Amino acid sequence: MDFKRVQFLKKQMESKIGREPQTLYEEDAFRMDALTLAYMGDVCWSFFIRRSLIYTGIYSVQILHSLAADMVSARVQCRVLLRIRDLLSERELKICRRGRNTHSTVPKSATVEEYRESTAFEALLGYLYLSGQADRLHFLMNCSLKFLAEEFSDER
């Protein structure tokens, strides 16, 4: 991105910081770029997982970080999406397809398939959050956490 464009965007951001966030209509969120949705979904999932771990009574930051890092990994998010897929509406599945088909750099910690599926999962969460579907977002994240808890207990 060229320097002038970056400067313009920074000025726009500075003029809007501190204002009440603009409410998005569901259709506006649906049309957003899949990576933008995934960016927001990553925040939602990370926050949800970290909060859930603290509610377990674990207060050691090292242990919390280790558990959270495992639970927000692309590998785990891929498995979660595969488990909740049957719960998704057609519109939600479209968001997932867009997220999966987005091209980005894949980290070494995941396969291409895992990373694409995790991007799809994050795009779904970002879409639900930005479109104001908080109840649906929490329902799917709670289902996802239950699946993870089952998986972790099966591994013992």
Any idea which residues carry the catalytic annotation? 42
**CB 77 within 8 Å of CB 117:** yes
Provide Rg for the chain, Cα atoms: 17
Which tokens is 32 given? 């957003």
CA–CA dist 24, 76 (Å, integer): 30
CA–CA dist 79, 145 (Å, integer): 11
3-state secondary structure 45-83: HHHHHHHHHHHCCCCCHHHHHHHHHHHCCHHHHHHHHHH
The kind and range of the H/E element at 10 are: helix 3-16
